[in-house]
Amino acid sequence: MRVPRQSHLPDARDHEECLKILSLIRHPIIKACCGLLYACGLRIEEGTLLAPDAIDKKRLTLLVIGKGDKERLLPLPQAVYQMLRHAWCLHRNPRCLFSQSVDGPPLSPETVRDAVEAACKEAGVQHATPHMFRHSFATRLTEYGVDLGKVRLMMGHASVSTTARYTHMTDPLREEMRGVMDRFAADCVR
């Protein structure tokens, strides 16, 4: 007999906390990588292994190779494109968007994890991993009312049931529901 696997809520942080963590990552290439993870909801390996030719600068899109070598084409915000361009110009590696040198390997996921951990410690926030940026991205989309089917496409999920985890009680939703519940609960206690 197996013990059922416990389901946990995604480790999503509010926008201000994500920005605070990002602001404390001082290495410009690592900061750009983490900014991309948050702005586009990428997995850490999807971000660190990106090649410069994954960006279509005319259409402002980003070609991401996800789990199982599945491709997805994401819109790339202009500000993120500019940040990536600036970071790439620091090393000009033709094979890696995020590298330390012109002929070096891509950033390792461990390097990015260490930078996020150090930024969290400095910010005095609960421990977080780079994957928290992906969860926070999906949570922002649901808070802005983006349809779950579209969120699924952006995240590269095979099933909408995986994406449905991001419909958890976010602060804005909790406040909205508090008002509704206050109205009908008042009648219950009379």
Task: Give the pLDDT band of residue 165 (cuts 50, 70, 90).
Answer: confident
- In sequence order, what E strands does the chain have? 55-56, 61-65, 71-75
Mean pLDDT of 24-39: 97
Tokens read off for 46: 């999807």
Our answer to whether residue 134 is catalytic in this structure is yes
SS3 184: helix
Question: Would you state the pLDDT for residue 160?
Answer: 79
Mean pLDDT of 123-146: 91
- The DSSP secondary-structure symbol of 102 reads T
Instruction: Report all structural domains of the chain as residue ranges with CATH numbers, in order of start.
Output: 15-188 (1.10.443.10)
Q: Which of 188, 133, 138 is closest to 167 using CA atoms?
A: 138
Question: Would you state the pLDDT for residue 144?
Answer: 87
Question: Would you state the pLDDT for residue 169?
Answer: 54
Q: Exactly one of 31, 38, 152, 166 is catalytic; name it.
A: 166
Q: Exactly one of 13, 43, 140, 152 is catalytic; name it.
A: 43
The residues with which 123 forms a beta bridge, in sequence order, are: none
Mean pLDDT of 26-30: 97
Our answer to whether residue 67 is catalytic in this structure is yes
Mean per-residue pLDDT over the chain, rounded: 89
**How far is Cα 49 from Cα 69, in angstroms, rounded to an integer?**
12
Which residue has tokens 């649901």? Answer: 142
Q: What is the four-CA torsion angle of 155, 156, 162, 165, rounded to 10 degrees?
A: 0
pLDDT(184) > 90: no
Our answer to whether residue 131 is catalytic in this structure is yes
**How far is Cα 65 from Cα 123, in angstroms, rounded to an integer?**
32
Our answer to whether residue 81 is catalytic in this structure is no
Q: Exactly one of 59, 67, 92, 174 is catalytic; name it.
A: 67
**How far is Cα 141 from Cα 46, in angstroms, rounded to an integer?**
19
pLDDT > 70: percent of the chain = 89
